[in-house]
Structure 1
Amino acid sequence: MFRQRVSARWVSVLALAGLALAACGDANVVAEVGKREVTKPDVSAFIASRSSRERPSPPEALDFLVERSLLAEEARRSGLAEDPLLQARLRTAERELLAQALLDKRMAEATTDAELRKRYESSRDALAQRQVHVRQIMVRVAPGVDEEARARAQSRMNGIFARLVGGEPFEKVAREASEETVSAARGGDLGPVLEGQVDPLFFAEAARLKQGERSKPFATAYGLHLLEAVEGMRTVVPAFEEARGKLEADARREAQERLVEQLRQQISIKTYPERLEAPAGSSGPGGTDGGQRP
């Protein structure tokens, strides 16, 4: 879109920028529109805000920013800048940009590699998870099926269970009969599974089994299952890189909570909730002091 708009027009903009630079002497100022300036950081920020498919060149970005500055300047001259709703939107944008900039800075400090590794070492016990390793045979039962379909599925599972009781190897029966095709191709082997990765009832049944033990048929929301434990349930601590996402999320959350609590103690807060119900522009007595120092 920006490529199509480039024309002789931005040549004149560059000429304007050259004159402005000569006039103001500030190397960061690349254009002056009325009493407002467009700076190199303005251009860089605008370019960074665009998607890679629409990213303009610096001259194209300058052209666009000059256009928008002209419109903004006219809005100020016509009194639009005094509109209360527009002022509220401007305050909102400023508030959010500043708040996010502070959070980004503090969060970066709290989530360095060194800080995360320190957190990892101090929270190994909390990071530990139960793990099972089982083979399964599954007969699917769709949610909401009628009793007849459910009975057919149960009858099929009973037949599979009878084959196992009769001495057939679990892996052979899983390959031939399991309706969960991915694990069936591996003889039913699901590989190591952590608590929380599967249905809670499924995990509970698997966790009861010692190595080599088999479950009886049981149902979950997904169907009917038979399990055989490849290993007994054990507790494992994920490697640092596996836990990094959780460590970072926890560090960010805690750092933000600490920051907000510190600021509540350092900066005066007064709220007036009773005024929320009053018509806009009216004033009322009283207020609720947030209890912070003035």
Structure 2
Amino acid sequence: MKVVLGVIFSGVLLAGCQEQGQTLAKVADKSVTQDEFSAYLAHKHIPADSEKRVSAALDDYLAREALAKAVEQSALLDNKLIAAELNEFRKQMLISRYFEKYLNNVVTEDALLNYYANNPEQFQTKRVNVAHILFRVRRGMTQPEIDALKTKVYEVYSKLQASETFADLAKAYSQDVLSAEKEGELGWIKEGAIDSEFSRIAFSLEEGKYSEPFRTPFGFHIVKQLKSPQIIKQPFEAVKGDIRYQLRAEAKQAEYDKLLKQVVVKKVATLNKVE
């Protein structure tokens, strides 16, 4: 290998040359400097004080440089296309590595905690415990059929006003089979998680009170508030990932726009039409 390298290289390794910027070797007309090789060692995670590994790495590095130079000088490949691909790879590497470091520096644990503390409304939900009696309006129903349902729901409402219990009436009349088995109880529902009219009425009631009949896309309801609304705050650890994603996206866009403004781009020629 050393004999082959000695033939390929137009220069030899300058033993003991450790100063940054110094030439270690030449491959044809290209100088290989200590700076370049040190960067290569860092890229390969090879410690500079590991003499054997550094020596082997240098042999491999110079051999690949020589091989690439020989291929570059051949007529087999389209060097302009290769150069274009390398330039695109270089740009992508620069951009991705820059933003990786930039975002790690900007979106810190403290930044996440500050956002969580300063935007409490984003991480809390309001919920209420309710029960309902439902008469379903199904697709294809005629207006007389819908009117008959409306009459039934008002009959049940009259029974409530006559002191019959909500639980018994839900079991007897509600067409929501699952909740009817539990005396109409739907459990805790989040504000805005269901139909807007249902949510508005459920949260506006007083604990223990029930509503007048009203209609939603599901049908006719009577709603009873079992327990008054509560505000539940999500713990930081549960939303930490979402905050990080949001802050990184915002910081990246802001930095992207700032960087573009620093460099003036001018089109100085019109592209020829590609046939």
TM-score (normalizing by structure 2) = 0.58
Q: Does 1:25 align with 2:41?
A: no
Q: Does 1:252 align with 2:245?
A: no
Select 2:127's aligned residue among 124, 131, 137.
131
Provide the alpha-carbon RMSD of the alignment. Answer: 4.2
CA distance 1:218–1:120, shift in 2 (3 Å): same
Structure showing greater radius of gyration is: 2
Q: What is the alpha-carbon distance in structure 1 between the residues aligned to residue 220 and residue 75 of structure 2?
A: 73
Q: What is the alpha-carbon distance in structure 2 between the residues aligned to residue 116 and residue 248 of structure 1?
A: 6
Q: Deviations over 1:175-233 (max 9, x none)?
A: 34333344334333333322231222211111211111111111222222221112334
Query: Contact conserved, 1:140 with 1:224, CA < 8 A, in 2?
Result: yes
Q: For residues 82-231 of structure 1, what are the structure 2 equivalents within 5 Å? A: 82=80, 99-109=95-105, 112-143=108-139, 145-231=141-227
Q: What is the alpha-carbon distance in structure 1 between the residues aligned to residue 268 and residue 179 of structure 2?
A: 59
Letter in 2 for 1:268: V
Q: What is the alpha-carbon distance in structure 1 between the residues aligned to residue 207 and residue 267 of structure 2?
A: 64
Residue aligned with 1:163, SS: helix
Residue aligned with 1:191, SS: strand
Query: Contact conserved, 1:143 with 1:222, CA < 8 A, in 2?
Result: no
- Kindly tell me the number of residue pairs found equivalent between the two proteins: 217
Q: For residues 61-100 of structure 1, what are the structure 2 equivalents within 5 Å? A: 79=77, 82=80, 99-100=95-96
Residue aligned with 1:132, SS: strand
Identity %: 20
Q: Deviations over 1:119-155 (max 9, x none)?
A: 2112224544443322222233235644244334324
CA distance 1:116–1:158, shift in 2 (3 Å): same
CA distance 1:156–1:96, shift in 2 (3 Å): farther
Where does residue 40 of structure 2 map in the other structure?
none
CA distance 1:279–1:210, shift in 2 (3 Å): farther
Select 1:270's aligned residue among 238, 247, 265.
265
By how many angstroms is 1:100 displaced? 4.7
Letter in 1 for 2:182: R
Specify every segment of 5 or more residues in structure 2 that has no aligned partner in the other structure, as ranges: 1-54
Residue aligned with 1:151, SS: helix
TM-score (normalizing by structure 1) = 0.55
